[in-house]
Chains A and B, each alone.
Chain A
Amino acid sequence: MLNVGLTHFLVISVVLFSLGIYGVITRKNAVMVLMGIELILNSANINFIAFAKFGNFGLQGQIIALFVIVLAAAEAAIALAIVINIYKTITNINVDEIDSLRD
């Protein structure tokens, strides 16, 4: 095995991103879709920090990663509030059955 470099971190990020996409596509529960989105945001953060380190951009990548973490926290709070409201309204949070706007 070769020494750990930029490519290793990028491959980790790619696989994590794909697993997140897979979770978003296949899970029916809205909370599980949210977990997939968290995986995707984490993979983006790994990319930011890896490029900042191996491209010698100083700390800018880490600061962007901090901003992404803040946005993820806000997004999780809003999304869970929406999910809880949906559950109160139609007692179900399966994303393939919430289609009343289509009719």
Chain B
Amino acid sequence: MTVYDIIFYLFAAVTLVSAFFVVTNRNIVHSAFFLLFTFFGVAGIYVMLGADFVAIVQLIVYVGGILILILFGVMLTNKIVSVEIKTDTIHALPASIVVGLFTGAIGAAVLNTKWNVVETPDPVPSTAAIGSMLINEYALIFELLGILLLIALIGAASMARR
């Protein structure tokens, strides 16, 4: 068991345990904070996969942007009288049975498939290569996504103001 494996299991445990608390905690604010740890764990898993730039983008966009947006959403859609912002769960038992069966099926499919794994070279810094791919092969998608993000944010702002 190498250091790589130990760090991987650490990040995996952080991700899955906090994701479990996200979906089971009754307090929405606590769920949002556990989501923070899930995003950190996923960023760590990206680093384990040699995707350093994606990991940093994950931290900046998810933790710095989406999570703050979600917290604002929680604050703006509850009558705040205390820190306790509760929410109920419905159909917990049937949902856990169905989701458990689903997990078993997909997990069995993953474990029983013989993946054609190629030996990969050691990861190298990817930022420069990603930058040049974004303005060469993926230039059109990059521009379209920029326009989409602009339209979405303008739409969201005008919708939320109404």
Contact residues of A with B, CB < 8 Å?
A: 1, 3-12, 14-23, 25-32, 34-36, 38-39, 42, 45-46, 49-50, 53-56, 59-60, 62-63, 65-67, 69-78, 80-85, 87, 93-94, 96
- Give the shortest distance, in Å, between B132 (CB) and chain A (any CB): 10
- Give the shortest distance, in Å, between A26 (CB) and chain B (any CB): 4
In contact, A12 and B102 (Cβ under 8 angstroms): no
- Give the docked Cα–Cα distance between A73 and B72 (Å): 14
Which chain B residues border A80 with CB–CB below 8 Å? 69-70, 72-73, 156, 160
In contact, A6 and B117 (Cβ under 8 angstroms): yes
Given the known A-B contacts A26-B23, A32-B87, are A65 and B66 also in contact in the complex, defined by CB atoms under 8 Å? no
Partner of B58, one of A5, A22, A69, A96: A69
Which chain A residues border B4 with CB–CB below 8 Å? 4
In contact, A70 and B149 (Cβ under 8 angstroms): yes
Interface residue total, chain B, C-beta cutoff 8 A: 82
Partner of B160, one of A27, A32, A73, A84: A84
Question: Interface digits, B120-162 against A, CB 8 Å rule (1 contact, 0 not)?
Answer: 1001001001100110001001000100110011011101101
Partner of B51, one of A65, A75, A77, A93: A65
Partner of A59, one of B45, B65, B115, B129: B129
Given the known A-B contacts A14-B107, A66-B130, A69-B58, are A35 and B22 also in contact in the complex, defined by CB atoms under 8 Å? yes
In contact, B153 and A28 (Cβ under 8 angstroms): no
Cβ of B80 within 8 Å of any chain A Cβ, yes or no, is: no
- Give the docked Cα–Cα distance between A8 and B6 (Å): 13
- Give the shortest distance, in Å, between B156 (CB) and chain A (any CB): 4
- Give the docked Cα–Cα distance between A67 and B42 (Å): 16
Residue in A closest to B106 when the chains form the complex, CB atoms = A14
Partner of B45, one of A21, A31, A46: A46
Residue in B closest to A87 when the chains form the complex, CB atoms = B77
Given the known A-B contacts A14-B106, A22-B23, are A9 and B49 also in contact in the complex, defined by CB atoms under 8 Å? yes
In contact, A14 and B62 (Cβ under 8 angstroms): no
Q: A16-B38, A76-B70 are in contact. List 12 more A-B contacts (CB 8 A).
A: A7-B111, A8-B8, A8-B12, A17-B106, A20-B23, A53-B50, A54-B120, A56-B120, A66-B54, A67-B141, A73-B65, A78-B156
Residue in B closest to A67 when the chains form the complex, CB atoms = B145
Within 8 A of A (CB), among B66-94: 66, 69-70, 72-74, 76-77, 87-92
